Structure 1
Amino acid sequence: MEKKILALLCLLYAGNLFSQVNQFKILNTSTAEPVEGASISNATGLIGISNEKGIFSITSENLPGNYKISALGFETLDIELKKSAGLAKIYLSPRLEGLSEVVVRSTMIPKPLIKVPAAISLITATDFKRTDATNVLETFNNVPGVYVNQGALNTNKITIRGIGARSQYSTNRIQAYFDGIPLTTAEGELTLDDFDQESLERIEVIKGPTSSIYGAGLGGAINLYSTQPGKTQARLGLKTQFGSFNTQKQVYQASNTTVNSSLFAVFTNLTSDGYRENGNYDRKSALLNGTLKTSEDGSLSYLANFTRLKAFIPSSLNEDDFLNNPKTAAFSWAQSKGYESYDRGMLGGSYTHALVDELSNTTSIFINFRNAYEPRPFNILKEERVSAGVRTKFKLDARVFKIPSEISLGAEYYNEWYEIGTFQNLYEDFPGTGSVLGNRLSNNEQRRDYANFFGQISLEFNEKWNLEAGFNLNTTNYSLKDLYARDQVNQTGDYGFAPVFSPRIGTSYEIGEGKNVYVSISHGFSTPSVAETLTPQGQINTNLAPETGINYEAGFKGNWLENKWYTEISVFSIQIKNLLVAQRIGPDQYVGINAGKTNHNGIEFLTNYRFLMGSKLQVKPYINGALNFFKFDRFINDNVDFSGNELPGVPKYTVNFGVDVQSDSGFEFFSNYRSVGKIPLNDENSNYTDGYNLLNFKTGYSFKIIDDILLNVYAGINNALDEHYAASVVTNAVGFGGAAPRYYYPGNPRNYYGGLQLNYVF
């Protein structure tokens, strides 16, 4: 009897082994989110469909085998599936023509783009391919409502819907994150030109006040997402590029993906002599990111980035030099050989854990540092900055009043220490040697911290109608310690802003299959920097208030002609009060005042179409743009009334038209025509730039040298029409000592580039 029972157990065990179930999980390559409803089939037909967690099962008797996996909005994947001891991951790549189906990650509750009741633009891998890859900010100019002033590779300023246009040399009023790690300083300053597009999967731009999600972001928010290796494989890559002005770029990449982990590393070195005098540029950067599945319900992601920069500064020109000698640098900057240099790094990690089936948590910790040295004609600046913080977010799937809902609640805390000192620049005493460090002029230490408490709920009333509501409560405080005792001014003091409550509500309704309309109202704010709060006597201006605004918006997002044609249009009105104005009282001294109100009214549009020329060639024309009606509502500054004038620093319109051609054979061609309207240069509207038009081309060809080695060869032309234009402007420039005001940064003339990229998969 014992032998019979033992034999029966052996048969049952063998049968269990034979029919062992293997589980696979399908993930979105861009977002790492599960793909629900994907079809898995083989030669015999449909095998299964992935569940809400992206998981499907296949018995061992059907493995190994060749399978086809397809899902709406994704590229179809042909893959050989093998037996696996654990939960094997499979990645699907979103289709470009399925843009509306891409799940947006920037909102607290991820949702397909077409259903989000907000103006969100995506910068994808195709957008990166259209440019020469020397400055990632070039891709932002293809986003309706966004305008980038590009004075040089290291002198850039982003405006969203005209907000931030009054900043003199840098980007502010915009929040930015890299894989959830804050990039904007506690004072609101932002630098994005450190990052290479080779390290990015995509970028999401939320336009208009986003304070209900990210705190002090009156202009909007920019979220950068690092490259995810995707398929289970190892890869090495090498890229080299050469261009006009002795511009050179080298990129080295490596990645490895297994069932439970992924790792991606990239190193870039970009150098250029620049078009203008005193324009040399040298940047080295390294990035490492990865994921690790720690348990069935938990995963860890990590990110490290380091940048070393030395970039000389030609600065802005007056009108005569701009028209007749655009290659020259500003005289004092050329004589002092002014430049900026810094080491900058960030390190962060996030842990996501499913607490129960309906509740999950993601917690991130991060630290940033920057050590900078910048010789300018008027002084030499030394800066040190260290910041750290934590952000946690809970996501709950529930039913509210029997309505399917998603709820997100969380908090963020950010602390920053900043030390700044200025010194005499003795370059005039040592002709021909450039900047020379002199005696100390100032030494200040600043500490700023803020806390955000946020929440959002998404209600799905039915398949067509959803509603979102959210809020953010912000507290901001800072202290200033004057460490320089030799002058008669003591700037030491503490200051805090009253808590700011920022609500948002929006709703989207499907009026037809693949066609949604939306409306939203959102509140936003931006706090003054420490420099703006100082009076000319060096005291803290405790009467200065945050800049606040309300955004009213309505829009349409829709697919047509079997999803081959996609369109967006949005109409918005942003009313800003307590406008922060930086009044210039010296070559490098500004004071802030609350000077009035502005109206930011505009229309943004986007459309793209996909032609199929046979089965192997796609032609994709697109057009997008913005019409801007940005004016001072009430603005009196220094007893002069500018009410009704146009807001300086923003073009009246921007339009992009382009055609992308891509084939299965590996051939690619990209063309882009950009038209930019006139830009007011000052509050008086007494000076304007001329409008300009740029035409860019790029072509490339990819082919396999052998089975595992892929080579891409490419070349391009920027500004093919050789247009003379102002690529950036300084608003309200002032000429000191009888000199003409220097408003203009000339753009590069016609220039060329080319390169090759080698990838080895093993």
Structure 2
Amino acid sequence: MKRSLILLLIINIVGTFSYAQEFEGNVLDEKSGKPLENVKVTDLNSGKTSFTNEDGKFEFGEVKFPLELEFKRIGYLFLIKSFQENEQPSDIFLQREISQLSEVIVRSSNIPQEIRKIPASVSLISENDLKRTDNFNLVQNFNYVPGVFVSQGALNTNKINIRGIGSRAQYSTNRIKAYINGIPLTTAEGELTLDDFDPEYLDRIEIIKGPVSSAFGAGLGGAINLYTKNRTRDQRSVVADFSYGSFNTRKTRANINYVKDSLDLSFNYNQVKSDGYRENGEYDRISMLGSANLLNKKGNSWSFFFSYTNLKAYIPSSLNEDDFLNDSEKAAFTWYQAAGYESYTKNILGISYEHNFSESFKNQTSLFYNSRDGYEPRPFDILDDDRKSFGARTRFNYKTAIFSRASEISFGAETMFENYETGTYENLYEEAEERRSILGDRLSLNEQDRNYLNLFAQLNIEITSKLSAEAGLNFNTTAYNLNDKFNSVETNQSGDYRFEPVLSPRLGLSYEAFEGKNFYASASHGFSTPTVAETLTPEGLINTDLKTETGWNYEIGFKGNWLNNRLYTELNFYSIQIRNLLVARRVGQDQYVGVNAGKADHNGIEFTSAYETILSGNLVMRFFLNSSFNFFEFDRFVDLGENYSGNTIPGVPEYMISPGTEFSYKNLSANINFQAFGEMALNDANSGYTDPYQLLNLKLDYYWNLSRKLDLNFNFGINNILDEKYASSIVTNAIGFGGSAPRYYYPGNPRNFFGGLRLNFNL
């Protein structure tokens, strides 16, 4: 009996030593080959951690095979590597994050390629960039991008313009195409809302600046492409966080991820509530987002995305100059008395399939459905609208050789069918004893069925080893059917209408003059069709004479890496020449009508740079400097007998300069960023300007690994540290009625604070 026990003990000891062994290795910088100190190495089987020493060496006293190690260091891309029994690594190399900026593959291009080699201005907002600010509002991150400006009236009142295109839209974003995972977010009539999306659910945002009609259709200003996170290894996790900020702003969020083999599932719930800085500024939004990806054995993939949003947000509206300077917390009197607000329920559904016919030929096809049911009491009326749209986009990519040179051809189509019903009613709020809106008699009722078709093609070819060319062409046809359900026979405009077909070409060249340094030049055509709001007159009639707004963009630029890829820079010069300029003519209190009124020239300079350096083994510093200088003028613009030719286009700052820095020390990071904006013209006559303003912001993050399965993250920040008084948005061409002063100004938030706590539990 004793001999048996001793024998079992010996077998067990021998088996243990054969199963558990010591393990050591070295971690080096991929570019320089130098040892990396303070790399965190985690044994994913046991949860044990080790840190590299000054020679880049790490070791574990005991490991079990098969072994899976995770390597993490601030400033480098994390790496997961597997090892079999008795396998000892000689060297393990990590890639710097900054070296990847110019090598990022732009997914939104019809032919994906490295950002440095694309003959166009493309800006990337990475997941790390989205963490520089608070997590309440997605679009505030766009104001760090050269050439992009977001007018922020409130959490729900945001207007994006790219290179000045769309700056004169009154209360919403238009003339910009947007997609999430390839699913269109811009409506068939050209309007866009991005406020609903949770920034923490996104992996990256790609912004293509300037006319993009050759690839996306009606996008005179550019295109914004959002992408959700894509996990590549097995993972089951639950993330819960809570954030709180000034003005009783709070956000509750929960995210569930499940990744197993070829299946990737994710679901996100978040709610943002705020009392707002101003009167009548309460905000309440619930959003749910989900995505799924499935890869089959042949390498073909399915992806699914859905988004649900329910919003009710009160509207304080704009102020005159006196109230803006002396009582900026108040709401506009009529909007306060009517308790004006907007509310809607929105749904987005999309499914996509990518099929590889061969290594050189593949297709991606998407089907999508969007709906929005809105209700908006305003002092001058009550808007009740309902929009439903569905469509499809398909794209083929074929790699081949033309004249023995590597080439790729892309071609496809996008179509959308949209039904939009809009009606207005009298608002009898003045008859109410308390602050509220009262539904009165109907004023108008219109139903519009709009559809468009884009046919597009693109060719990329390497002319030489250093020179490449890109050519694209898009054909668009847009039509709509109007059913006037309210007006009498004399004024009824029901019928079929069609905009003139538009052909939009593009040509670009990129030349690698030196290693990692490219010069480029391009010319592209773009267009935007009028929105329903621009065609609708105050009497409920449709201006059927409006023409499509068109423009040409001419651009030259440079993209390059310096200092062993620690520094990346971009510089470009562009000129966009707009024809059949669509402008909003003020015809009543908070009422406008669109007219074609001439030509405009948008000339500008943009600069982007990012630099990273390691000050010591544990301290990493990153810098960025982004800037744009705008020279936007009316070339020829005469409206109602007034000649505005040569005047500055209102609603866009003359310049934007934004330097920032990030310090990272072990698990602590600090972001400090500064933004300087130039003056903005208030109206077409240039009779007034806003003052330039500067914003200084700070955010601190601390990451704490409590155990193998549980991570904890704290953050704290201050926006507008200097407590600057500024106009974050303006209503261009505002007019005072009844002897009142014009209400141009939306005041920006004063100094405000925020903080949050996040738990990440890996199952």
Q: Deviations over 1:697-756 (max 9, x none)?
A: 000100111121000001000000000000000000111222111000000000001111
CA deviation vs aligned residue, 1:322-344 (integer Å, no higher than 9, x gap): 00110000000000100011100
Opposite residue 304 of structure 1, the aligned amino acid is F
Are 1:223 and 2:225 matched, yes or no? yes
Shift, 1:622, TM fit:
1.1
**C-alpha contact (below 8 Å) 2:445/2:540 kept by paired residues:** no
Please give the alpha-carbon distance, in whole angstroms, between the structure 2 residues aligned to 1:448 and 1:424. Answer: 27
State the alpha-carbon separation in 2 of the partners of residues 726 and 77 from structure 1.
Answer: 45
Match of 1:54 in 2: none
CA shift, 1:407, in A, is 0.6
Alignment of 1:302-317 (within 5 A): 302-317=304-319
Q: In the alignment, is the contact (CA less than 8 A) between 1:696 and 1:720 conserved in 2? A: yes
The 3-state SS of whatever aligns with 2:546 is coil
1:648 to 645, 650, 656: 650
Q: Give the stretch that moved more between structures: 610-619 or 688-697.
A: 610-619
1:245-281 CA deviation, whole Å, 9 max, x = no partner? Answer: 0000011001011121101111001000000000000
Q: Partner residue of 1:709?
A: 710
Q: Note the 1:59-98 alignment, pairs <5 A.
A: 64-65=66-67, 75=77, 77-80=79-82, 95-98=97-100
Structure 2 unaligned blocks of 5 or more: 1-63, 86-93
| Amino acid in structure 2 at the alignment position of 1:465 | L
Q: Distance in 2 between matches of 1:410 and 1:148?
A: 32
- In structure 1, the residue matched to 2:687 is 686
CA change 1:120–1:194 in 2 (3 A) is same
Residue 335 (structure 1) aligned to one of 334, 337, 343: 337
How far is the alpha carbon of 1:64 from its aligned partner? 3.3
The SS at the match of 2:323 is: helix
Q: TM-score, normalised by structure 2?
A: 0.88
* Match of residue 204 from structure 1: 206
Q: CA RMSD in A?
A: 1.9
- After superposition, where does 1:13-32 map in structure 2 within 5 Å? none
Counterpart for residue 356 of structure 2: 354
Equivalent position SS for 1:337: coil
Give the CA deviation at 1:357. 2.3
Structure 1 residues 323 and 269 mapped into 2: Cα distance closer, same or farther (>3 Å)? same
Shift of 1:463: 3.1
Amino acid corresponding to residue 573 of structure 2 in structure 1: V
Give the equivalent residue in structure 2 for 1:724.
725
Aligned to 2:632: 630
**Cross-structure match for 1:476:** 478
- 1:759 and 2:760 correspond: yes
The whole-number CA distance in structure 2 between the counterparts of 1:744 and 1:541 is 29
1:434 aligned residue: 436
1:606-658 Cα offsets, whole Å, 9 max, x none, are 11111102222210011111000000111111111111110000110001010
Q: Is the 8 A contact 2:98 2:566 kept in 1?
A: no
Query: SS state of the match for residue 139, structure 2?
Result: helix
Aligned residue number for residue 140 of structure 1: 142
Q: What amino acid sits opposite 1:739 in the alignment?
A: S
Matched residues in 2 for 1:175 and 1:617: separation?
Answer: 40
Q: What is the aligned-residue identity percentage?
A: 53
Q: Counterpart of 1:518 in 2: which secondary structure?
A: strand
Q: Following superposition of structure 1 onto structure 2, how do residues 595-634 of structure 1 map, counting pairs within 5 Å?
A: 595-634=597-636
Q: Tell me, yes or no, if the aligned pair for 2:318 and 2:332 is still in contact at 8 Å.
A: yes
Match of 1:29? none
For the Cα contact (< 8 Å) 1:673–1:695, is it kept in 2? yes
625 and 276 in structure 1: CA distance in 2 versus 1, 3 angstrom threshold: same
Q: 1:383, 1:419 within 8 Å by CA — same for their partners in 2?
A: yes
Q: Supply the distance in 2 between the matched residues of 1:522 and 1:744 (Cα, whole angstroms).
A: 35
| One-letter amino acid matched to 1:760 | F
1: CA distance between counterparts of 2:164 and 2:106?
24
Residue 82 and residue 320 in structure 1: after superposition, are their counterparts in 2 closer, same or farther (change >3 A)? farther
Q: Indicate the SS of the match to 2:280.
A: coil
Match of 1:250 in 2: 252
AA partner of residue 240 (structure 1)? F
Kept in 1, the 8 Å contact 2:603–2:632? The answer is: yes
Cα distance, 1:157–1:178 mapped onto 2, change above 3 Å: same
Matched, 1:746 2:747: yes
For 1:503, the equivalent position in structure 2 comes to 505
**How many pairs does the alignment contain?**
690
- C-alpha distance in structure 1 between counterparts of 2:69 and 2:436, whole Å: 66
Q: 1:482-509: per-residue Cα shift (whole Å, max 9, x none)? A: 1115696313222101210000010111
CA separation in 2, counterparts of 1:187 and 1:659? Answer: 40
- The answer to whether the 8 Å contact 2:207/2:222 transfers is yes
- Is the CA contact (8 Å cut-off) linking 1:478 and 1:496 kept in structure 2? yes
- 2:183 paired residue number: 181
Answer yes or no: is the 8 Å Cα contact 1:229–1:256 preserved in 2.
no
Specify the alignment match of 1:584 in structure 2: 586
**SS in structure 2 at match of 1:100:** coil
Cα distance, 1:68 vs structure 2: 8.8
Which residue does the alignment assign to 1:393?
Answer: 395
Aligned-partner Cα distance in 2 for 1:166–1:531: 13
Aligned to 1:672: 673
Q: Deviations over 1:666-706 (max 9, x none)?
A: 10100111000000000110100000000000001001111
Task: Determine if contact 1:602/1:626 at 8 Å carries over to the other structure.
Answer: yes
Deviations 1:151-198 (A, max 9, x none): 000000001101101101111110001111111111111111011101
The answer as to whether partners of 1:390 and 1:414 remain within 8 angstroms in 2 is: yes
SS in structure 1 at match of 2:194 = coil
CA distance change for structure 1 residues 67 and 195 in 2, over 3 Å: closer, same or farther?
closer
> Quick one: distance in 2 between partners of 1:658 and 1:373?
41
Q: What is the one-letter code of the residue matched to 2:383? A: L
Find the counterpart in structure 2 of residue 33 from structure 1: none
Q: Distance in 1 between matches of 2:156 and 2:68?
A: 50
In structure 2, the residue matched to 1:737 is 738
Query: 2: CA distance between counterparts of 1:613 and 1:189?
Result: 47
CA offset digits 1:279-317 (Å, max 9, x no partner): 000000000001011341311000010000000000000
Name the residue aligned to 1:447. Answer: 449
User: Secondary structure of the equivalent of 1:138?
Assistant: helix
Q: Which residue pairs with 2:558 in the alignment? A: 556
AA in 2 matched with 1:686: S
Give the drift of 1:461.
2.4
- Which has the larger displacement, 539-548 or 483-492? 483-492
Residue in 2 that maps onto 1:533: 535
Q: 1:206 to 1:754 in 2, by over 3 A?
A: same
Provide the residue aligned with 1:700 in structure 2: 701
Contact 1:533/1:592 (<8 A) preserved: yes
Work out whether residues 94 and 102 of structure 1, in 8 Å CA contact, stay in contact via their aligned partners in 2: no
Give the conservation status (yes or no) of the 8 Å contact 1:229–1:255: no
Contact persistence 1:315–1:330 (CA under 8 A): yes
- Report the Cα distance in structure 2 between the residues aligned to 1:383 and 1:478, rounded to whole angstroms: 17
TM-score between both structures, scaled by the size of structure 1: 0.88
Task: Quickly say closer, same or farther: Cα 1:357–1:621, change in 2 above 3 A.
Answer: closer
Residue 539 of structure 1, CA deviation: 5.1
The answer on whether the counterparts of 2:453 and 2:478 sit within 8 Å (CA) in structure 1 is yes
For 1:233 and 1:707, the matched residues in 2 are separated by 13
CA offset digits 1:204-223 (Å, max 9, x no partner):
00000000000000000000
Question: Aligned letter for 1:646?
Answer: T
Contact 1:371–1:383 under 8 Å retained in 2: yes
Q: CA deviation at 1:587?
A: 2.6
Query: Paired residue for 2:326?
Result: 324
CA offset digits 1:70-108 (Å, max 9, x no partner): 9xx97251322689xxxxxxxx99824421111001110
